[in-house]
């Protein structure tokens, strides 16, 4: 079947690939770019573990084909930190407030939270809960995650 040439900017770096149209963006990031921070669990849009930013907008990378990202800018969890070995305020807050346990869902939560706070720097409790409803965590019971998001919002406003 026809393969298609694509060029995607991933975390600021140009990446080119020759892909089958059915290759999801998540698989392109993990397999072709070696960026395994984007996690795959349900692979049908429910769990949110694969959330990335496409041209700055939070999307499920399992529900996009990589050909659709041709010419776009993708930011994965690896691209959120200001420089290698550091963390952005959201990551820092998840670390400080026990916003993770096994860590599997964490990249999705961190990316979603980054998008949520960019759009709404001072969210209410309801808005935080609504904003996190598209990401599933099986370990924490969510309380540490909620605390982390509140703390990140506060830290980013200062």
Partner 1 sequence: MKPARFRYHRPESIEEAVALLADLGDDAKLLAGGQSLVPLLSMRLARVDHLIDLNRTAGLSQISMDDGGTTIGAMTRQATVEHSAEVAEAVPLLALAVPHIGHFQIRNRGTIGGSVAHADPASELPAVALALDAEIHVVAARGRRSIPASDLFVGTWTTSLAADELLQAVRFPAWSGRCGFAVEEFARRKGDFAIAGAVCAVGTNDRSAVDRVAIVLMGMGATPVRARDAEQLLLGTTPDEDVLKEAGQRAADAGQPTDDIHGPAGYRRRVAAHMVTIALRKALRQATDHGRD
Using CB under 8 A, list all residues that contact partner 1. Answer: 1-2, 4, 20-24, 27, 43-45, 48, 51, 57-60, 62-65, 67-68, 112, 115-116, 129-131, 133-134
Of 50, 157, 137, residue with least CA distance to 94? 137
Q: Please, which residue, 48 or 89, has the CB nearer to partner 1? A: 48
- Tell the smallest beta-carbon distance from residue 133 to partner 1 (Å): 4
Distance of closest approach, residue 39 Cβ to partner 1, in angstroms: 15
Q: Residue 2 or 83: which CB sits closer to partner 1? A: 2
Element (H, E) at 104: none
The number of CA neighbours under 13 Å toward the Cβ of 60 is 15
Which residues is 51 bridged to in the sheet?
Answer: 60
The SS3 of residue 95 is: helix
């Amino acid at each position: 079947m026809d393969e298609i040439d694509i060029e995607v900017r991933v975390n600021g770096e140009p990446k080119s690939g020759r892909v089958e149209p059915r290759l999801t963006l998540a698989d392109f990031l993990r397999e072709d770019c070696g960026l395994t921070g984007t996690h795959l669990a349900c692979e049908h849009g429910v769990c949110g573990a694969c959330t990335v930013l496409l041209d700055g907008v939070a999307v499920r990378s399992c529900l996009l084909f990589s050909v659709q990202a041709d010419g776009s800018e993708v930011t994965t969890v690896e691209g959120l930190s200001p420089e290698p070995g550091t963390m952005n305020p959201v990551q820092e807050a998840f670390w400080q407030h026990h916003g993770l346990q096994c860590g599997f869902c964490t990249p999705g939560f961190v990316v979603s939270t980054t998008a949520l706070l960019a759009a709404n720097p001072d969210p209410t409790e309801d808005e935080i809960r609504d904003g996190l409803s598209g990401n599933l965590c099986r370990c924490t019971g969510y309380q540490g995650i909620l605390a982390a998001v509140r703390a990140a919002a506060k830290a980013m406003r200062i």
